[in-house]
Structure 1
Amino acid sequence: MLRFGAVSYLNTKPLVETLEQRLTDWGTLRLDLPSRLAADLASGDLDVALIPSVEYFRNQSNYAIVSDAAIACRGPVWSVRLLSRVPMPEIRTLALDEGSRTSAAMAQVLLSEMHGIRPQTVPFPIGSDAAELDADAVLMIGDRAMHPPRGTYKEIWDLGDRWCRWTELPFVFAMWVARREVVENSDQLKRIDLALNASRDDGAQCFESIAIREAADQGLTNEDLHRYFAENLHFHLGPGERAGLSLFRKKAEAIGLVPPLPTASNPNA
Structure 2
Amino acid sequence: MQPPLRIGAVSYLNTKPLVHGLRERLGHRATLSFNLPSRLADDLHQGKLDVALIPSIEYLGDPSYQIVSNAVIACRGPVWSVRLLSRVPAQEIRRLALDEGSRTSAALVQVLLWEMYQRRPEIVPLRIDQSPERVDADAVLMIGDRAMHPPPRYYREIWDLGDRWCRHCELPFVFALWIARSGIDASEAEVAELSQILQASRDQGIASLEQIAEREAASHGLTKEDLHRYFAENLHYTLGPGEKNGLAEFDRRARSLDLIPHHAPPSTKP
TM-score, shorter chain, exceeding 0.5:
yes
What CA distance in whole angstroms lies between the structure 2 residues aligned with 1:166 and 1:122? 25
Match of 1:66 in 2: 68
Between 32-41 and 68-77, report the one with greater CA deviation. Answer: 32-41
For residue 115 of structure 1, the aligned residue among 108, 114, 117 is: 117
What CA distance in whole angstroms lies between the structure 1 residues aligned with 2:134 and 2:262? 36
Q: Secondary structure at the match of 1:139?
A: strand
> Alpha-carbon deviation of 1:174?
0.4
For residue 50 of structure 1, the aligned residue among 45, 49, 53 is: 53
Match of 1:137 in 2: 139
One-letter amino acid matched to 1:44 = G
Say whether the 8 Å CA contact 1:80–1:158 is kept in structure 2. yes
> Alpha-carbon deviation of 1:44?
2.2
CA distance 1:184–1:143, change in 2 (3 Å): closer
Match of 1:90 in 2: 92
Equivalent positions of 1:210-221 (< 5 A) are 210-221=212-223
Match of 1:204 in 2: 206
Match of 1:228 in 2: 230
What CA distance in whole angstroms lies between the structure 2 residues aligned with 1:36 and 1:149? 25
What CA distance in whole angstroms lies between the structure 1 residues aligned with 2:170 and 2:11? 29
Q: Secondary structure at the match of 1:169?
A: coil
What CA distance in whole angstroms lies between the structure 2 residues aligned with 1:40 and 1:260? 16
Match of 1:237 in 2: 239
Match of 1:18 in 2: 21
What CA distance in whole angstroms lies between the structure 1 residues aligned with 2:48 and 2:185? 15
1:225-262 CA-to-partner distances (Å, cap 9, x unmatched) read 1111000000001111111111111111111111579x
One-letter amino acid matched to 2:219 = D
> Alpha-carbon deviation of 1:56?
1.4
One-letter amino acid matched to 2:16 = K
One-letter amino acid matched to 1:35 = S
Q: Secondary structure at the match of 1:14?
A: coil
One-letter amino acid matched to 2:95 = T
Say whether the 8 Å CA contact 1:207–1:230 is kept in structure 2. yes
1:74-97 CA-to-partner distances (Å, cap 9, x unmatched) read 000001111111111111111111
Q: Secondary structure at the match of 1:50?
A: strand
Q: Secondary structure at the match of 2:183?
A: helix
Say whether the 8 Å CA contact 1:16–1:203 is kept in structure 2. yes
Say whether the 8 Å CA contact 1:253–1:260 is kept in structure 2. no
What CA distance in whole angstroms lies between the structure 1 residues aligned with 2:66 and 2:246? 17
Between 66-75 and 13-22, report the one with greater CA deviation. Answer: 13-22
Match of 2:266 in 1: none
What CA distance in whole angstroms lies between the structure 2 residues aligned with 1:50 and 1:115? 32
Between 208-217 and 196-205, report the one with greater CA deviation. Answer: 208-217
Where does structure 2 lack aligned partners over 5 or more consecutive residues?
264-270
Match of 2:157 in 1: 155
Q: Runs of 4+ in structure 1 displaced over 6 angstroms?
A: none
What CA distance in whole angstroms lies between the structure 2 residues aligned with 1:55 and 1:143? 21
Match of 1:41 in 2: 44
Q: What's the TM-score once normalised by structure 1's chain length?
A: 0.91
Count matched residues: 260
Say whether the 8 Å CA contact 2:58–2:261 is kept in structure 1. no
What CA distance in whole angstroms lies between the structure 2 residues aligned with 1:259 and 1:25? 34
1:152-177 CA-to-partner distances (Å, cap 9, x unmatched) read 22211100000000011111110000
One-letter amino acid matched to 1:229 = F
Structure with the largest fraction of helix: 1
What CA distance in whole angstroms lies between the structure 1 residues aligned with 2:97 and 2:228? 30
Where does structure 1 lack aligned partners over 5 or more consecutive residues?
262-269
Q: What's the TM-score once normalised by structure 2's chain length?
A: 0.91
> Alpha-carbon deviation of 1:58?
2.5
> Alpha-carbon deviation of 1:143?
2.5
CA RMSD of aligned residues (A): 1.7
